Amino acid sequence: MRKEKLTMLDELIYPEIIANFRLVKSIDVQGAKLFRSSSFSFCQPAQTTQICQHLGPCTYVDLRTQKELQRDGTPSTIINLGWKYINLPVHDQESHEEPDLKRYEAVMPQYLNVASEVIQRLNNGESCVIACSLGKDRTGMVTALIQQYFGESAKRISKNFELSMTYLIAQRHLLPSRWQSLEALTPISGIDCLQAIRDIRPTQLCGSGLQAKGLTQQ
């Protein structure tokens, strides 16, 4: 039973179209749902249209920097179809010279800013899609903070975080060529994620207006 619950935590959506696009099944606020994904900029317009029509109205929260937007473009199709689009850049580029935990801790104020914004929107009934380039580090950390805020267990937060590697490796053919080799997909650790958010309190997600719960160990 426990293994089934962990497997059911995330649900891949359109796995043949976009990599690492998942419904976070533990978050459902007044009918508003939370999704996480690699960038929609990697999809063709017809594919993006298919996704948008399937999901209905959503807010797309893009964590990419200006440099990344210039390189890969904005997902303009979603805007044309009526989705809300906000860019909250998180400057958290991968560096093999610095441990992931230190990177995550250094960028925590940016993660908190995005998580607070998404929680506000969920509370207002807006379904949200969080995306960076791969939907791995930045998207994973923001999602972890939101899950912690709503009382998700440490074990499931860790599992959700690490699932990105499983999905990205299996779907790397859907990514731009620079990320299609196994060497380009640097590993991530759920333990690092949990360590980075261990001291975060609900009050740091200021203005969310929701009753928060602490991180549990179940």
- 35, β-bridge pairs: 23, 129
User: Which pLDDT band holds residue 206 (cuts at 50, 70, 90)?
Assistant: low
Pair of tokens at residue 44: 């063709």
Q: Is 30 helix (H, G, I), strand (E, B) or coil?
A: coil
pTM for the model stands at 0.90
Q: Of 161, 35, 39, 159, whose CA–CA distance to 89 is shortest?
A: 39
Q: How far apart are the two ends of the chain, measured CA to CA in Å?
A: 14
Pair of tokens at residue 3: 């293994």
* Residue 217: pLDDT over 80: no
pLDDT recorded at residue 1: 29
Q: Which of 36-50, 80-94, 182-196 is predicted with the least confidence, judged by mean pLDDT?
A: 80-94
Q: Which of 60-74, 87-101, 175-189 is predicted with the least confidence, judged by mean pLDDT?
A: 87-101
Asked whether 75 and 60 are in contact (CB, 8 A), the reply is yes
Determine the residue type at 65.
Answer: T
Asked whether 34 and 131 are in contact (CB, 8 A), the reply is no
Phi, psi torsion values for 62, nearest 5 degrees:
-95, 120
Query: Strand 32-37 to strand 22-29: parallel, antiparallel, or no bridges (unpaired)?
Result: antiparallel
Q: Mean pLDDT score of the chain, rounded to an integer? A: 88
* Residue 211: pLDDT over 90: no
